Chain A
Amino acid sequence: MYFCPLIQKTKTEKLKKHIITGVRHLTDSTFVLQLERNGLPFQTGQFVILRRPGTIDQREYTVYSGEKENVLEVLVREVADGKITPLLKKMQPGVELEVDGPFGFFRFQPSMFTSKKFLFVATGTGISPFHSFVKTYPELDYKLIHGVRFGEEAYEHSHFDKEKITLCTSGDNTGEFNGRVTDYLAGMKPDKNTQCFLCGNSKMIHEAFDILISKGIPVQNIYTEVYF
């Protein structure tokens, strides 16, 4: 992963219990879990670990909400045979979860970059950090390319400036672009000073990495967060 070297480490809070305050179901398998913020400090782009109290079952999620919001949100896709996500999906407001963190180095602060042009590339729930970036810094000069299979997976695209987001769908033709994000990226001509942030599965990140390098983007301008 490529990192943002100028941002100070964020203080790690003690493990706290956070009550679920809401659940927004975006598709049959994907939902936003909203929890009390409880003063948890984080820098946009970081992740937290959610755990059911009294168990060892836990999972890492990038924070979906903005730094200044009073709630803590994460975007979760249910893994049918997973140990955690089917349980999270069934949770109702009022249930408590333990939150550990924040962690991670995919932190974002526009002031640390000389060039203020940003390219965000995401697949699936990899849109989470970019949602948080944009919620935290609404005035950003960015272009977000979001790749999914079907148009219904355009998770809360209304939260973004529609001029700045492109939906790529590989399984139907409901997106602005019919194909994978890497196909779209291959046709782009990004300015060499663009700061590029990639988040999603490692296959997409590896391909996007090669495409950006071939377009003359210096390696130090590429930041990655692999979703495992």
Chain B
Amino acid sequence: MKYHLITLGCQMNLSDSERVISVLDKAGYSWTDNEEEAVLIGILACSVRQKAIDKVYSRIHKWNKWKNHKNLVTFISGCILPNDHEKFLKLFDITFQMKDLPNLPEMISRYGITTPVHLKTGIDPHNENIEEFWNVKPSYQSDFEAYIPIQNGCDKFCSFCAVPFTRGREVSRPSKEILAEVALLVSQGYKSITLLGQNVNSYGLDKEGQEITFSELLREVGELGNRMKKEFWVYFTSPHPRDMTDEVIEVIAQYPVLAKQIHLPMQSGDDKVLIRMNRKHNMEKYRQIVHSIRRILPEATLFTDIIVGFTGETESQFENTRKAMKEFKFNMAYTAMYSPRPGATSHRWDDDVPLEEKKHRLHELTEELRKHNRIFNHNLLGKTVRVLVRGEDRKEGFLSGLTEGKLIVRFPAENEDLTGKFANVKITSASDFSLEGELVKVEALV
């Protein structure tokens, strides 16, 4: 029996998909790239963009037509808004929340391949029994990079985002499980581990003193790294500026395994836009955090998320974002043009910044980012950087990888065996968004 799974959206969904694959493999299904030969097809949906949800509707209509001439069971999970959930109940055979994943084989068996009985479960905003989901051993899709979910849900209610309504409340995973998963991965030779959550740095707060805090969790990971005496990098995403403390930054500075790369979503550089976004941080708070990062972790790279053209964003408010880009000198900014999403609070407001203006603002920020990166990357010329090799580059005869700060580096090498290993690369040329170099040394297998 073959299955096919489509994963849309962010790293959370990618991480979740590793557990879905594990459950289906264990239940006796085997993966197929070809959805036409599958008897079971699933989607992990994303509600951040309307386009992603449109894709779901387009696919399910196609699959439901296939049911006229073949046996097929369809399921959907992931980030789903209540309104979409209601519609999906009628379109998919099975809808479930990720916390109910361990029961998926039972849902499928109760459904039966040919029995058209809809099996439905509602949305539980409190994520009860999410522990059972976390206990599913994931089927990691890489031999050297892995995601570890440390938290699910969100309590922040940013006005542009629907996650509190799709993933429910913030629930922290027990630290013992997280540390055990880190230890297991490192012992298996994993080199890059990302701790995942919607607001990772509010980790533990929901347990009211019954769980360690995020900085304490990072410290435990750092200590684990010291004990295991292996080289690996641990990242986390995404933190919220509201809960970011100097303590977190200081802990990162103390342990070599905690990667010197911070992703700190800014969203806007204007206080009034931040108020409308219901972000719970202002630019002064953000500036304080960046200063702390520069002071305590001068070598760290800084990434961010920005939305341009949010409802009501004036030219002068956008100008503040552009100034902030200039001031903070981000190494990467994932910039998105605002698009209203049903279910998010801002969907009730006029999307009043014209598309052309949004494109213009996106372009302006990209140029600002490009300018800074050009200088930053050129300063690396002649220097040797440590790179985790990720595989073949698009440029023939080259491999590429990421530095600890997640800068892209490519270098000539025919030897595929380097994938998943650390290598030292001397930078010989720099472009705006990537670096090129020569292999200096390859580490022995660890």
Contact = CB atoms under 8 A, between A and B. Distances in A.
A and B from one complex? yes
Interface of A: 1-3, 8-9, 11-12, 14-15, 56, 60, 100, 103-105, 202, 205-206, 209, 219-220, 224, 226, 228
A56 B81 CA distance: 10
A226 B276 contact: yes
B82 A209 contact: no
Interface stretch (B137-145, B231-239, B278-286): B278-286
B126 interface: yes
B424 interface: no
Given A9-B206, A12-B155, A100-B125, A206 B284 contact: no
B36 interface: no
Nearest to B272: A206
Given A1-B278, A226-B276, A9 B86 contact: no
Contacts of B417: none
B265 to A, nearest CB: 15
A167 to B, nearest CB: 25
Interface hub of A1, A202, A209 (most chain B Cβ within 10 A): A1
Contact of A1 (B125, B205, B280): B280
A3 B280 contact: yes
Contact of B284 (A100, A219, A226): A219
A8 B169 CA distance: 17
Tell me the interface secondary structure of chain A in the complex. Answer: mixed
B83 A11 contact: no
22 contacts: A1-B280, A3-B280, A8-B205, A9-B208, A12-B155, A12-B169, A12-B170, A15-B125, A56-B85, A56-B86, A104-B157, A105-B280, A202-B275, A202-B276, A205-B275, A206-B272, A209-B275, A219-B271, A219-B284, A226-B276, A228-B159, A228-B278
Contact of B275 (A12, A56, A226): A226
Given A1-B274, A219-B282, 16 more contacts: A8-B208, A9-B202, A11-B208, A14-B126, A14-B128, A15-B125, A56-B86, A100-B125, A103-B155, A202-B276, A206-B272, A209-B271, A209-B275, A219-B284, A226-B275, A228-B278
B291 interface: no
B215 to A, nearest CB: 15
Contacts of B205: 8-9
A209 B208 contact: no
Nearest to A100: B125
Interface string B122-158: 0001101000000000000000000000000001010
B170 to A, nearest CB: 8
A228 B125 CA distance: 21
B348 interface: yes
